[in-house]
Amino acid sequence: MTPRPKPSLDPVSAGILAWVVPGAGHLVLGRKAKAVMFFVLIVGTFLAGWMISGRENVWFERGRLHMLAQLGGGLLTFVLGLGRSPADPKEAVMHVFEIGTLYTMVAGLLNVLVVMDAVTTSLRLRRNAP
């Protein structure tokens, strides 16, 4: 009986999948436990921050640098931020260091690490493939 070939995915596809849905890159690479853990932790942290802030800390506005960290969260950032903007522009300044925003920023940055791990895992699997 020959061993089953390891699933391999090119590193770019693994990275894109991991960014769009946290853990998806690991799932297609056959790392199911890691995929579930990453998805639950990152999406849970992002949603907790979103809810703590009263569901108002994800919006797209020029000059809002911490939005870049939130974008690491992938598709979730776009879905929750669609059409959102603060009612009062002065409010945007108030949300800069709000704890819910910090949660969503941390979740986004953690997902960047998960993307990097998915890419390196894909490279390692391709290198070790028979």
Residue 92 CB: number of other CB atoms within 10 A? 16
Instruction: Please give the single-letter amino acid code of residue 83.
Output: G
Q: What is the pTM of this model?
A: 0.75
Per residue in 89-124, pLDDT tens?
A: 545 444 445 788 888 889 999 999 999 999 999 999
Angle CA 99–105–109, to nearest 5:
145
In this model, does residue 80 exceed pLDDT 90? no
* pLDDT score recorded for residue 95: 46
Per residue in 50-75, pLDDT tens?
A: 888 877 767 656 556 677 788 888 88
Helix and strand numbers, DSSP H then E, in the chain? 7, 0
In this model, does residue 82 exceed pLDDT 80? no
